[in-house]
Structure 1
């Protein structure tokens, strides 16, 4: 592992940048207040700042500004109502019910408002017992509101000074994810690869890339500054993002029959050399990503063109020594892989040219795309959407009920004085932080929160026991805050660990000498909150992932079919719309990632809820292959190239029939005889067979050509690869159909073997 690059990736990421901004926005007022000796009295100011800061999700400026404004209004309103009625227990229970349902339900409008809703419930937990407000409620509320508004002011100043910073960092992260994706793909070429493990890693990485692309797409396409502004920077950033999308597809097109490839070339070093070169390209992509995150011009870290020349030379040397009538088709496959590697290398070289800040290139940029078609779907902010989700069939409504019931139980628990619970809000905050719509995520966060809290508490206790110099303690507090906010999105255990440390240190500065009480309360309350969350998540209207599988499988099958139809249309000499193609490609990748993500969550659920796990796993694997092979086929869609030797119509009808069978089976429809006949069509690629036979004859007669142009590929090699890809798509679609047929027959057998209830 390149630890230097890993450290740079982390330090220059949007998460660390955001964490430093939040930390400074929170701590600087503390220093000023401490200087005047009034920090304890005005502690709600930095608290309000940190709460609003945590609702700031990546995205377009207007959406972020509006969400922060809504967060301030919600926080102050919740704090005011909670403070005014904290002594009237019946009204406190009413607050929990109303706020719990409303702030959980607004998650239907997307992650941004879901974050505001969750933090609003944390504010409710903080103010519910009046522990922090003191006697002067109005003064406390004004201080809290001022702290909330302070972060909005910081946000407006920073985004005015650096309007492109977030977009640049997010695009950079796209390249970093693609680099990791390429590293996984490179491992298919190492000695004795674990194919099942690598396939699982590829699918998991696809999920991460899809989620990141969705966030970046919204930030880039919806930000007026990036899309419409005629500055060089804005246009270059747009170009960099679009290039990352195309590069992602090129990486997907490298899908091959790796097991056959390993068998064919296991006694040579060529595959290991490909592995090493792909890792080299991965390092270059990492370098590009880091440069984008920092905001500097990227320069190549190695001479990839020279290394590519060596790789091509090694291939041609091996080919000319070993090619024969028996193995020349294997060399065709390998030649095609090298051609893809050449294209990826060219793409990386072009990206480095963009970094030269070529003004003419930037000004000539015109995507020709209707960018609205590429934006993620987001619910409109209208009451009808909220109203339609007030139903037991809505997963959002069920989640809102779980949150509300858990908060009621947690608050009720805190009222039992004999338990010795010190702070009501720690139980409630634990519940809000852990309880998520998906049971699997709740279960995982529950454990991570518990382990992180215990580990953080032990470390903080040791720090406070052995270190008594305030300057050192304050430095540790600052670093802990930065690390906490940096890890909050991706590494929850570490986020909780550092959060616990800075909370301990914060309370020690405010109230020195009470570390034992804080230690006990924090751990006990976290355990209580975790137990309540576990019980409620399992018992109260859980939404199991297996209930989502069928719809997601249908969506993936449909999107793959449309994606294939769009690509094959070019071979049928139909009108090819590049914009429509890119939209269909996006939809297929998103549908596949959603299905894969759902499957990964199902694995973490109780065994009795992992319904048809093996079937779903096989469907996910075959769907991934169909999407990848279709992407490979799309690389032959060229305006100046025709392939009349391929029976495109025959293959189109054959493959589409098989894919439609899958869709019919998933919908519970009978497969028509027409579809059965279409899927049995034998495409007439006789001219291709003749060309292959001719080439075999040439090789038998020792007519081997020493072709050494790495940028050119023979027409026969292209034809053979197109034929192989079409064959692979058909075979995988057929395998997928058999998976669903077996599933349907098993389900029918289960239904028929169930005992019939006796009539009374």
Structure 2
């Protein structure tokens, strides 16, 4: 592992940058207030700042600004109502019900408002018993509101000074993910790879890439200064992001029959050499990502032309020494792989050229695409959407009921002093943090929260027991806050661990000497809240992932069919619409990632809810292969070559018939005979076999034949690869259809108990 690169990836990321901004926005007022000796009286100021800061999700400036403004309004209203009714038990119960339902169900409008809703419930937990407001409620709320507004001011100043910073960091992160993706793919070429493990890693990484691409699309395509191409920076960022999506597709095209490849070349070093070269390319992609995150222009780390020449040299040496009539087709497959790797190399070189564009050249850069077609779908802010989700069939509504019941139970439990619960607010905050719409996420967060809290509490206890130097403790507090906010999205255990440390240190500064009570209360409160959250998620209107499998499989099957049709359009009519193709490619990748993500969550659910797990796993695997093989085929539809030897019409009918059969079964309809007949069509690609036979005869007649042009590939090799890819797509589509037949049969005849 390149630890230097890993450290750079982390410290230049948007998460660390955001964490530092949040920490400074929160801590600086604390230092000023502490200097004047009034920090205890004005503690609600930095608290409000940190709450609003946590609602700031990546995205376009206008949406972030509006969300922060809405968050401030919600927080102040919730704090006001909670402070006014805190002594009236029935009204407290009523506010938990009303706020619990409303702030949970607004998640139908997307992650941004879901974050505002969750933090509004945290504010409710903080103010529900009045321990922070004191006697002068309105003064306390004014201080809290000022703290909330302070972060909005910081946000406006920072985004004005650095309007492109977030977009640049997010695009950089796309490249970092692609670098990791290529590193995984490279492992298929090492000696004795674990194919099942690597396939699982590839699918998991595809999910991460899809989620990140969706977030980046919204940020880039809805930021006016970028879309309008008004500056050099905006145009370069737009092209860098679009190039990252094209590079993603090229990385997917490297899909091959790896097991056959390993068997064919197990006695040579060529696959290991490919593995090493792909790792070099991975480092170059990572270098581009880090440079984007920093905001500097990237320079190549290696001489890729020389490295590619060396790889081609080893291939040609092996070919001239080992190629025979018997293994000709194996070498044709290997040659095609090298050409794909060459295409990836060229793509990376082009990205470096875009990155190094000067101002004059950059003014001529244009995407030529209708960017609106690439934006992620989202619910519009209208009452009809909310109204339609007030139904037990809505997962958002069911989640709102669960979290409201859990908050009620948590509040009622906290009223029984003999249970030893330290603070009502910590129980309620923990419930809000743990309880998520999906049971699997709730279960995972429950354990991570418990482990993180215990580990963090032990570390913090040790720090406070052995260290008594104020400046050193303050430094640890700052580092803990930054690390907590940095890990909050991706590594929940570490986020909770550092959160627990800085909470302990904060309380120690405010009220020294209560470390034992804080230690005991945090552990007890977290355990109680975890038990409540787990029980409610399992018992109260749970939404199991298997209930969504059918819809997601339909969407994936349909998207793969449309994607394949778009690619085949070039072979059939010589009419290829690049923009339409890219939209359909995006939809196929998103559908595949959504299905894979749902399956991953399903694995974490109770065994009795893992319905048809094996069949769903087979469908996910075949869907991944269909998308990857179609991406491989697409490389031939985007060049100017023609392939009349390929019976494209028959192949199109044959493959589409299999895909349509799968989609028909998923919709619950019967397959008609016409589709069955079309799937049995035999394409007339016999001329390819004749050409291969001719080539074998040439080998037999002239063993000294040696042609070395790494930038060219024979027309025969291309034809052979297109034919093989179409066969692979058909075979996988046929296998997927059989998987769905099994899936439907299990529905009709459930297993006997």
TM-score tier, shorter chain, comes to: over 0.9
Note the 1:580-619 alignment, pairs <5 A: 580-619=580-619
- Give the corresponding residue for 1:695: 695
Note the 1:361-510 alignment, pairs <5 A: 361-510=361-510
- Larger mean CA deviation between 573-582 and 443-452 belongs to 573-582
Quote how far apart the aligned CAs of 1:356 are.
1.6
**Aligned with 2:293: secondary structure?**
helix
Q: Does residue 88 of the first structure (1) align with residue 88 of the second (2)? A: yes
- Give the corresponding residue for 1:652: 652
- Quick one: structure 1 residues 691 and 704, their matched pair in 2 at CA, closer, same or farther if it must change by over 3 Å? farther
**Aligned with 1:402: secondary structure?**
helix
Quote how far apart the aligned CAs of 1:446 are.
0.2
| Preserved contact between residue 240 and residue 355 of structure 2 (Cα < 8 Å) | no
Distance across 2 between alignment mates of 1:740 and 1:630:
20
Distance across 2 between alignment mates of 1:493 and 1:375:
32
- Give the corresponding residue for 1:624: 624
- Give the corresponding residue for 2:320: 320
Distance across 1 between alignment mates of 2:576 and 2:563:
12
Cα RMSD, aligned residues only: 0.9
**Aligned with 1:325: secondary structure?**
coil
Distance across 1 between alignment mates of 2:221 and 2:187:
34
Task: Please list the CA deviations of residues 112-154 of structure 1 after superposition, one character each: whole Å capped at 9, or x if unmatched.
Answer: 0000000000000000000111111011000000000000000
| Preserved contact between residue 699 and residue 705 of structure 2 (Cα < 8 Å) | no
Note the 1:54-65 alignment, pairs <5 A: 54-65=54-65
| Preserved contact between residue 236 and residue 354 of structure 1 (Cα < 8 Å) | yes
Distance across 2 between alignment mates of 1:413 and 1:106:
27
**Aligned with 1:750: secondary structure?**
coil
Quote how far apart the aligned CAs of 1:710 are.
1.2
Count of residue correspondences: 753
| Preserved contact between residue 698 and residue 704 of structure 1 (Cα < 8 Å) | no
- TM-score scaled by structure 2? 0.99
Distance across 2 between alignment mates of 1:421 and 1:665:
54
| Preserved contact between residue 232 and residue 357 of structure 1 (Cα < 8 Å) | no
Note the 1:339-378 alignment, pairs <5 A: 339-378=339-378
- Give the corresponding residue for 1:722: 722
- Larger mean CA deviation between 76-85 and 349-358 belongs to 349-358
- Larger mean CA deviation between 347-356 and 595-604 belongs to 347-356
Task: Please list the CA deviations of residues 82-116 of structure 1 after superposition, one character each: whole Å capped at 9, or x if unmatched.
Answer: 00110001000000000000000000000000000
- Give the corresponding residue for 2:122: 122
What stretches of structure 1 move > 4 A for 4+ residues in a row?
none
Distance across 2 between alignment mates of 1:653 and 1:229:
42
| Preserved contact between residue 27 and residue 46 of structure 1 (Cα < 8 Å) | yes
Quote how far apart the aligned CAs of 1:326 are.
0.9
- Give the corresponding residue for 1:757: none
Note the 1:29-44 alignment, pairs <5 A: 29-44=29-44
Note the 1:125-164 alignment, pairs <5 A: 125-164=125-164
- Larger mean CA deviation between 356-365 and 366-375 belongs to 356-365
- Larger mean CA deviation between 741-750 and 144-153 belongs to 741-750
Quote how far apart the aligned CAs of 1:463 are.
0.4
Task: Please list the CA deviations of residues 447-483 of structure 1 after superposition, one character each: whole Å capped at 9, or x if unmatched.
Answer: 0000000000010000000000000000000000000
- Give the corresponding residue for 2:297: 297
Distance across 1 between alignment mates of 2:173 and 2:638:
30
Distance across 1 between alignment mates of 2:361 and 2:188:
37
Distance across 2 between alignment mates of 1:549 and 1:638:
34
- Give the corresponding residue for 1:758: none
Q: Does residue 525 of the first structure (1) align with residue 522 of the second (2)? A: no
**Aligned with 2:749: secondary structure?**
helix
Distance across 2 between alignment mates of 1:650 and 1:23:
62
- Give the corresponding residue for 2:200: 200
Distance across 1 between alignment mates of 2:675 and 2:615:
23
- Larger mean CA deviation between 294-303 and 198-207 belongs to 294-303
| Preserved contact between residue 435 and residue 442 of structure 1 (Cα < 8 Å) | yes
| Preserved contact between residue 422 and residue 524 of structure 2 (Cα < 8 Å) | no
Distance across 1 between alignment mates of 2:239 and 2:704:
43
Quote how far apart the aligned CAs of 1:585 are.
0.1
- Give the corresponding residue for 1:16: 16
Task: Please list the CA deviations of residues 334-359 of structure 1 after superposition, one character each: whole Å capped at 9, or x if unmatched.
Answer: 11110111111111111111222323
- Give the corresponding residue for 2:274: 274
- Larger mean CA deviation between 365-374 and 461-470 belongs to 365-374
- Give the corresponding residue for 2:286: 286
Quote how far apart the aligned CAs of 1:656 are.
0.3
- Quick one: structure 1 residues 660 and 108, their matched pair in 2 at CA, closer, same or farther if it must change by over 3 Å? same
- Larger mean CA deviation between 320-329 and 13-22 belongs to 320-329
Quote how far apart the aligned CAs of 1:420 are.
3.0
Quote how far apart the aligned CAs of 1:591 are.
0.2
Quote how far apart the aligned CAs of 1:323 are.
1.1
Distance across 1 between alignment mates of 2:361 and 2:675:
50
Distance across 1 between alignment mates of 2:708 and 2:113:
58
Quote how far apart the aligned CAs of 1:362 are.
1.7
Distance across 2 between alignment mates of 1:569 and 1:576:
6
Distance across 2 between alignment mates of 1:677 and 1:150:
69
Distance across 2 between alignment mates of 1:576 and 1:479:
54
- Give the corresponding residue for 2:572: 572
Distance across 1 between alignment mates of 2:14 and 2:128:
34
- Give the corresponding residue for 2:180: 180
Distance across 1 between alignment mates of 2:383 and 2:732:
45
| Preserved contact between residue 486 and residue 495 of structure 2 (Cα < 8 Å) | yes
Task: Please list the CA deviations of residues 703-734 of structure 1 after superposition, one character each: whole Å capped at 9, or x if unmatched.
Answer: 56322111111100000000000000000001
Distance across 2 between alignment mates of 1:468 and 1:109:
48
Note the 1:518-557 alignment, pairs <5 A: 518-557=518-557
Distance across 2 between alignment mates of 1:329 and 1:323:
9
**Aligned with 2:594: secondary structure?**
helix
Task: Please list the CA deviations of residues 391-450 of structure 1 after superposition, one character each: whole Å capped at 9, or x if unmatched.
Answer: 000000000000000000000001112223221000000000000000000000000000
Quote how far apart the aligned CAs of 1:574 are.
4.5
Distance across 2 between alignment mates of 1:385 and 1:677:
44
Distance across 2 between alignment mates of 1:653 and 1:354:
40
Unmatched 5+ stretches in structure 1: 755-760
Distance across 2 between alignment mates of 1:636 and 1:615:
33
| Preserved contact between residue 449 and residue 492 of structure 2 (Cα < 8 Å) | yes
- Give the corresponding residue for 1:97: 97
Quote how far apart the aligned CAs of 1:300 are.
1.2
- Give the corresponding residue for 1:214: 214
**Aligned with 1:528: secondary structure?**
helix
Distance across 2 between alignment mates of 1:330 and 1:481:
56
- Give the corresponding residue for 1:636: 636
**Aligned with 1:576: secondary structure?**
coil
| Preserved contact between residue 647 and residue 684 of structure 2 (Cα < 8 Å) | yes
Distance across 2 between alignment mates of 1:709 and 1:61:
50
| Preserved contact between residue 103 and residue 114 of structure 2 (Cα < 8 Å) | yes
**Aligned with 1:636: secondary structure?**
helix
- Larger mean CA deviation between 21-30 and 707-716 belongs to 707-716
Quote how far apart the aligned CAs of 1:229 are.
3.6
**Aligned with 1:87: secondary structure?**
coil
Quote how far apart the aligned CAs of 1:747 are.
2.9
Quote how far apart the aligned CAs of 1:361 are.
3.4
| Preserved contact between residue 168 and residue 295 of structure 1 (Cα < 8 Å) | yes
| Preserved contact between residue 398 and residue 542 of structure 1 (Cα < 8 Å) | yes
- Give the corresponding residue for 1:226: 226
- Give the corresponding residue for 2:264: 264
**Aligned with 2:393: secondary structure?**
coil
| Preserved contact between residue 457 and residue 519 of structure 1 (Cα < 8 Å) | yes
Distance across 2 between alignment mates of 1:744 and 1:236:
49
Quote how far apart the aligned CAs of 1:639 are.
4.8
Task: Please list the CA deviations of residues 247-306 of structure 1 after superposition, one character each: whole Å capped at 9, or x if unmatched.
Answer: 000000000000000011000000000000000010111111000000011111121211
| Preserved contact between residue 176 and residue 285 of structure 1 (Cα < 8 Å) | yes
